[in-house]
Amino acid sequence: MFDVAIVGSGPAGSSCAAFCAKAGLRALLLEREIFPREKVCGDCLNPACWPILRRLQLTERVQILPHGVLDRVEFIGIGGRTLAVTLPAGGKVEIAVKRSLFDQLIMRRARELGATICEGSTVTALTAPGAATQNWTITAAARTFESRVLVAADGRNSTIARLCNLLPRGAKERIALQTRLPLPHDFGNRVVLQFLPEGYSGQAPVGDGELNLCLVSVPRKMPALRSWAETRFGISREHSWRTITPLTRASITAGHASLFLVGDAARVVEPFTGEGIYYAIASGELAADAIVSQRNGRDAAGVAVAYSAAHAKLYCGRLWINRLARSAVLSPRVASGLLEVARFQPAMLRFLTAKIVR
């Protein structure tokens, strides 16, 4: 019997579990994989993450993980035109770190703070609170658990949202491929966002002499984009890539009575802006605050409404950037054209970058 059961141990679930356990709740974290596991991601950590990592006492531990320091973002248009924008330094630095390392660190912190963690435990069935019991019954790997509160932190294809009939149909308009390669010797401390006729590619050094390479395209153009990457980086045709879809999906109301959705399970943001991890840990913390207030006697319905409002506020004011990024990357030729304009208006690109890299 737990106060809160959290499904999914990505940054959203582990941060929520860590904050709940820190507040004295009996927290259970159920994760399908055995960590460390990799995840399709550009691996870039938006500087907005630092204050939350500080509240988890993880700043130093993240800083000693192998990572790449990113001092500039380079936008490369279809014709090869390159525009660079300097990124912040010091306490607001953007880094790139492997998700296998980063996610395991937050999960370990949750365990250290007292959360019970079950890896290799895929949640397959749920019974919602009803007349017979006020608790959730959760089935994972042939075991059942009971909890007063349930948190869906199981990513963009959330099983919890599906089992609760909340999951919208994903727009399968694009897919992403991701891999790691030896870092080209002259790559430097930059993150590259490169537009190509078939889509776009993100590249960032992640430490340990490795480069993270992501490709985003519509399915019918992906073979051509992959072929470009094979030639550009000398990758063999047999090389294996991780893949994920959808890249866009309608959002789900984040708060329901005794059910909270966090991270990608609630709302998926455009990968181009490299903010998903920030939203994951920020919503994980918000949900933990809400769950603590429910434990302290606030009614479940009121807590759900307040959490939904706080969650909407977290994203509010930034969705226009996401829409802008999405419409630009849906048409790489338009995005390249915008880069041409930005040559004469560099302040515009600096302004947009500063809105994202905070």
- Site residues for ligand FAD, 238-257, by CB under 6 A, read 244, 247
**What's the length of the chain?**
358
The site map against ligand FAD for 41-70 (x = CB under 6 A) is xxxx-x------------------------
CB neighbourhood size of 245 (10 A): 17
Pairing of strands 255-256, 242-244: unpaired
Applying CB under 6 A, the span of 20-28, 277-285, 328-336, 342-350 interacting with ligand FAD comes to 277-285
Q: Cβ of 200: how many Cβ atoms within 10 Å?
A: 25
Q: What's the Cα-to-Cα distance from 317 to each of 63, 253, 313, 320, rounded to whole Å?
A: 30, 17, 8, 7
For ligand FAD, which stretch binds (CB under 6 A), given 69-77, 142-150, 269-277, 304-312? 269-277
Nearest to 154 by CA among 31, 314, 245, 275: 31
Beta partners for 214?
Answer: 178, 202
Q: Pairing relation of β-strands 210-217 and 175-182?
A: antiparallel
If the CB atoms of residues 77 and 284 are measured against ligand FAD, the closer one turns out to be: 284
Of the candidate spans 82-90, 223-231, 272-280, 310-318, the one that interacts with ligand FAD by CB under 6 A turns out to be 272-280
Nearest CB to ligand FAD, comparing residues 219 and 346 = 219
Q: How far is the CB of 152 from ligand FAD (least distance, A)?
A: 9
Using rule CB under 6 A, residue 210 touches ligand FAD: no
List, in order, residues 6 or more apart from 327 with CB less than 8 Å away. 334
Using the minimum distance from each CB to ligand FAD, give the nearer residue, 253 or 302: 253
Choice from 4, 25, 28, 40 touching ligand FAD (CB under 6 A): 40
Tell me the site size for ligand FAD, rule CB under 6 A.
40
Cβ-based burial of 280 (10 A; exposed 0-12, middle 13-18, buried ≥19): buried
Give the residues lining the site for ligand FAD (CB under 6 A).
7-13, 30-33, 39-44, 46, 122-123, 153-155, 159, 176, 178, 214, 216, 244, 247, 263-265, 271, 274-278, 280
